[in-house]
Structure 1
Amino acid sequence: MTSTQSPLRIGNVSASRTDRATATAEFLAAASLDVLALDMLSDEAMLELAEQRAEGGPGHERALLVQLGECLELIGTGGVRIVTNAGALDPGGLAEALRAMAADAGVRLSVASVDSGDVTDRAVELGLGEADVATVRHGAFGIARALGAGANVVVTGRVSREALVTGAAAAHHGWTPSALDALAGSVAVGHVLSGGPGATGVVDSSTDVTRSTDPVSGGYPIAEIAADGSAVVTRHPSAFGSVTVGTVTDQLLDGVAGARYAAPDVVLRLDSVRLAQEGTDRVRISGARGEPAPPVVASVAMTRGPERPRRVARPLAQAEAGHTVVLPGGERVAVPVPLETADIGPGELPTPWSPGAVPGGAPVMSVLGSVASVRRGVVGRGVNIAVWTWDDSAFAWLAGALTIDRFRELLPALECMETHRYLLPNLRAVNLVARPPRGATLDTGLGADLASVRLGIPGELLEFGP
């Protein structure tokens, strides 16, 4: 791996088969990047690709060929490197298709691939039940190894959500698995960038009142990641939308539980992350602390249902994950299991939090969304509902008002569900994690209307304009 003190400048395009063919080329033409991540997969996309493979088609996302076909020369000359999960169930097949396309265009392209983590044939054995598709979510060091070997393009399967960014940062800065704080910082950044335009204010579940522009046409995010893992999140220079502490907070709270967030390579102490507005469309992420990697990674199964897909997640021991990378020259290399692992600590804050001044004044009936925003995401087989705000005193009120009992009053669908509440004072968030009983189907719309519920809010708080 190459060690450098210059920041890694990395963008993320959440491309899909419905995007215009020139979307990636347009992004690269207007932004100077070291690496571009193309996050092209969702649970639903994995189901579609599994069906495509079952019918004799490829198990990878062919839209990548369309996207990169418009900018092959830039990639082949080393102007930018690409990391993408578009390989889905057949990264090797997509890597070969990329090489062939480049050769036809007279461009020499160095392509590596990381194994797909496909465990569909082992789904029952792994406790996932009968499934249409099941995969292990690999971490970052297969990607880092491929980039370190000189790959222009690295094709993976459905890796963990932050792995594309963390792998690129590890290769750029020469991090080893023991660089826990730096890795944790890049996990936080990758978590934000993985939401694509959500980091610029475009996401259905958010009402970030700090936005200053029309969010309808938001742009894709860019991060400048330093050698210590801290970073500045900004956006594509020609895009609409805006990057604020609010938009970054909202993305960071998607799919998390308590004070610790487990990635395959490190456990991020989410309670350590600090966000600060550094300038227009520039938010600094700093302070991240990392703890040893967990002994397990996630295996996730998806099955078509009569109304909506069924998702099941189970832990799988790191040693059984079978993580390998095929380097540009064809050599297959096993990615080592982390030397040091530790069980994930409890979700509660390591140090008890004491509230500051709580706003006073007679309660005024108003919608929760007038003083807070709501972010929902998937956590294993459950869901997290994070209520966050932009003011310390507003958080002090939220922390006291939104007890588990109050959540249950506001969301009757929580009845009979396992619920835990976690405070994240550094992000001014109260986070509820709810899991249905085994075998029950999760209501994917749970919490969608929480911002519109009416409750008594201290009058002083409503006088604070965001």
Structure 2
Amino acid sequence: MTTSPRPLRIGNVSASRTDRSSATAEFLAAASLDVLALDMLSDEAMLDLAEQRATGGPGYERAALVQIGECLDRLGAGGAGENSAGGNRAGGVRIVTNAGALDPAGLVRDLRALAADKGVELAVAHLDPGEVTDRAAALGLGDVDVATVRHGAFGIARALAAGAVVVVTGRVSREALVAGAAAAHHGWTPSALDALAGSVAVGHVLSGGPGATGVVDSTTDVTRTTDPVTGGYPIAEIADDGCSVITRHPSAFGSVTVGTVTDQLLDGVAGARYAAPDVVLRLDSLRLAQEGTDRVRISGARGEQAPPVVAVVGMSRGGQGGADGRRPARVARPLPQDESGHTVVLPDGARVRVPVPRETAPIGPGDLPVPWSAGAVPGGEPVTATLGSVASVRRGVVGRGVNIAVWTWDDSAFAWLAGALTAERFRELIPELEGMDTRLYLLPNLRAVNLVARPPRGEVLRPGLGADLAAARLEIPGELLEVGP
């Protein structure tokens, strides 16, 4: 794959087995892309596939065969506005997908057979699934139904660089599909920390699917719609320095604003540092700006050396909640980078070891590297009103806990918010936090106050924790509500 100085144009479709067969093809027909990230895995899907495999079925998401099979004529090693000598169709699009789940090799085998039946020679590569279910107890995960290592971007980048038109992975880290495509497109090495960090931010936004366009009120792993085309799936343009513009499918519902992008960035984060397998993104460095209708620029990303560990995640049935009392429960543990290496099988069959980062550094504290000082707080006669009238609430999974982020739209509103939502106030507003370990972080660049709560060891996180926070009533300065005297 020849690197390119122009921005990578990458779209995301969070498809599921319930989507109509032509959904991905329709997305590609109306959106000029270099790469499509086809995200098909949730906690529920992983557990379903583990059960499916145990009864003799495949361990991959069979819906991927349907979705990709409908758009084979649009695939190739070129891209939006660029031709390439490799692949089977110049000017086509590449697909990177995690639909391989527990058996990427099986999905590749069946994709090749499907393509051959249609007279297409498909260049496909795959990563090993990172499954460690048989080692779960030794890794501290306990008795779980399925466990995987969340690998990063450079296996995907290696496969694309070797000419793969489709790259199949297991359940890699949430930003890896996007970051891997960007690294291949621009020729980034692991030392390009700032650029990688920018792509991690983009991957974090796109992984939320239609949440980035404000179409769904999503929480982690609840981003599916019955129609990924009209459902508002996002597109990103990623420059060679890691800066990007988030936009959307041209015929989709929804809109892309600083608010929708902020909301996605706050899903599943803790403090000022967000650790991906290949780089640590400094969330406090990001700048968001509305560049035009449905166009939000993300710039200023700073990256720090990769963390010394990656996440190994175990999932099991039997958690609280859900119609059948079988809500997925997850547990995460750290795995040293030097024990987390994996392999990629290239289109020609060559098996290549994906190196782990040569240099790592401990993740810094979650607090801001530079202390923040509040500016002027709005005045006016206090008015009792709901928190949701002046702020938005975003909830997401952080390890075995949850983050509850409250964010607002300007600096003065955040100055009030940061003083009003103390750890003690959170506990008053959410009594279910009693007995849980809680930590409060300020993220001024995103105008957010972020609470991370974890239940005691051995206890399952209560479903819906903090879901009613927006309806809580507080004394709010009248100037914020524009009803002051």
Bin for the TM-score computed over the shorter chain: over 0.9
Partner SS state of residue 108, structure 1: coil
Partner SS state of residue 378, structure 1: strand
1:61, distance to aligned residue in structure 2 (A): 0.2
Partner SS state of residue 2, structure 1: coil
1:464, distance to aligned residue in structure 2 (A): 8.3
Q: What CA distance in whole angstroms lies between the structure 1 residues aligned with 2:123 and 2:276? A: 28
Partner SS state of residue 170, structure 1: helix
Q: Deviations over 1:153-181 (max 9, x none)?
A: 00000000000000000000000000000
1:332-411 equivalences in 2 (<5 Å): 332-411=351-430
TM-score under structure 1 normalisation? 0.96
Q: What residue number does 1:213 align with?
A: none
Q: What CA distance in whole angstroms lies between the structure 2 residues aligned with 1:324 and 1:383? A: 32
Cα 1:5–1:54 change in 2 (3 A) is same
Q: Indicate yes or no: 2:159 matched with 1:146.
A: yes
The answer to which of 302-311 and 61-70 deviates more is 302-311
The answer to which of 218-227 and 1-10 deviates more is 1-10
Contact 2:311 2:332 in 1 (8 A): yes
The answer to which of 354-363 and 143-152 deviates more is 354-363
1:53-132 equivalences in 2 (<5 Å): 53-75=53-75, 76-78=88-90, 79-132=92-145
Q: What CA distance in whole angstroms lies between the structure 1 residues aligned with 2:89 and 2:65? A: 18
Partner SS state of residue 277, structure 1: strand
Q: What CA distance in whole angstroms lies between the structure 1 residues aligned with 2:201 and 2:388? A: 25
Cα 1:126–1:287 change in 2 (3 A) is same
1:307, distance to aligned residue in structure 2 (A): 3.9
Q: What CA distance in whole angstroms lies between the structure 1 residues aligned with 2:341 and 2:129? A: 10
Q: What residue number does 1:212 align with?
A: none
Q: What CA distance in whole angstroms lies between the structure 2 residues aligned with 1:350 and 1:226? A: 27
Q: Indicate yes or no: 2:427 matched with 1:427.
A: no
1:169-184 equivalences in 2 (<5 Å): 169-184=182-197
Q: What CA distance in whole angstroms lies between the structure 1 residues aligned with 2:402 and 2:199? A: 24
Contact 1:201 1:218 in 2 (8 A): no
Q: What CA distance in whole angstroms lies between the structure 2 residues aligned with 1:311 and 1:331? A: 34
TM-score under structure 2 normalisation? 0.93
What amino acid is the match of 1:92?
A: A
Q: Indicate yes or no: 2:53 matched with 1:40.
A: no
1:17, distance to aligned residue in structure 2 (A): 0.2
Q: What residue number does 2:322 align with?
A: none
Q: Deviations over 1:22-80 (max 9, x none)?
A: 00000000010000000000011000000000000000000000001111121141400
Q: What CA distance in whole angstroms lies between the structure 1 residues aligned with 2:374 and 2:443? A: 12
* Percent of paired sites with the same residue: 82
1:361, distance to aligned residue in structure 2 (A): 1.4
Q: What CA distance in whole angstroms lies between the structure 1 residues aligned with 2:435 and 2:6? A: 52
What amino acid is the match of 2:417?
A: L
Q: What residue number does 2:245 align with?
A: 232
Partner SS state of residue 48, structure 2: helix
What amino acid is the match of 2:41?
A: L
1:275-354 equivalences in 2 (<5 Å): 275-305=288-318, 306-354=325-373
Q: Deviations over 1:353-407 (max 9, x none)?
A: 0011101112100000000000000000100000000111110000000000000
Cα 1:422–1:152 change in 2 (3 A) is same
Q: Indicate yes or no: 2:415 matched with 1:415.
A: no
Q: What CA distance in whole angstroms lies between the structure 1 residues aligned with 2:102 and 2:269? A: 26
Q: What CA distance in whole angstroms lies between the structure 2 residues aligned with 1:310 and 1:108? A: 41
Cα 1:464–1:292 change in 2 (3 A) is farther
1:231, distance to aligned residue in structure 2 (A): 0.2
1:308, distance to aligned residue in structure 2 (A): 1.8
Q: What CA distance in whole angstroms lies between the structure 2 residues aligned with 1:321 and 1:55? A: 29
> Tell me, which stretches of 5 or more residues in structure 2 are unaligned?
76-87, 220-228, 319-324
Contact 2:211 2:218 in 1 (8 A): no
Q: What residue number does 1:246 align with?
A: 259
Q: What CA distance in whole angstroms lies between the structure 2 residues aligned with 1:188 and 1:56? A: 38
Partner SS state of residue 423, structure 1: strand
Partner SS state of residue 309, structure 1: strand
Contact 1:205 1:374 in 2 (8 A): no
What amino acid is the match of 1:264?
A: P
What amino acid is the match of 1:77?
A: R
Contact 1:132 1:303 in 2 (8 A): yes
Q: What CA distance in whole angstroms lies between the structure 1 residues aligned with 2:170 and 2:180? A: 14
Q: Deviations over 1:238-278 (max 9, x none)?
A: 11100000000000000000000000000000100010000
Contact 2:413 2:480 in 1 (8 A): yes
Contact 1:218 1:242 in 2 (8 A): no
What amino acid is the match of 2:403?
A: N
Partner SS state of residue 64, structure 1: helix
Segments of 4+ in structure 1 off by > 4 A?
none
Q: Indicate yes or no: 2:173 matched with 1:160.
A: yes
Contact 1:222 1:233 in 2 (8 A): yes
Q: What residue number does 2:215 align with?
A: 202
Q: Deviations over 1:428-453 (max 9, x none)?
A: 00000000000011012001000011
What amino acid is the match of 1:170?
A: A
Q: Indicate yes or no: 2:25 matched with 1:12.
A: no
1:4, distance to aligned residue in structure 2 (A): 1.8
1:205, distance to aligned residue in structure 2 (A): 4.8
Contact 1:205 1:448 in 2 (8 A): no
What amino acid is the match of 1:3?
A: T
Contact 2:387 2:471 in 1 (8 A): yes
What amino acid is the match of 1:46?
A: M
Q: What residue number does 1:21 align with?
A: 21
Q: What CA distance in whole angstroms lies between the structure 1 residues aligned with 2:117 and 2:203? A: 34
What amino acid is the match of 1:31?
A: A
What amino acid is the match of 1:154?
A: V
Q: What CA distance in whole angstroms lies between the structure 2 residues aligned with 1:288 and 1:2? A: 25
1:217, distance to aligned residue in structure 2 (A): 5.5
Contact 1:267 1:344 in 2 (8 A): yes
Cα 1:153–1:434 change in 2 (3 A) is same
What amino acid is the match of 1:37?
A: A
Partner SS state of residue 166, structure 1: helix
1:218, distance to aligned residue in structure 2 (A): 3.8
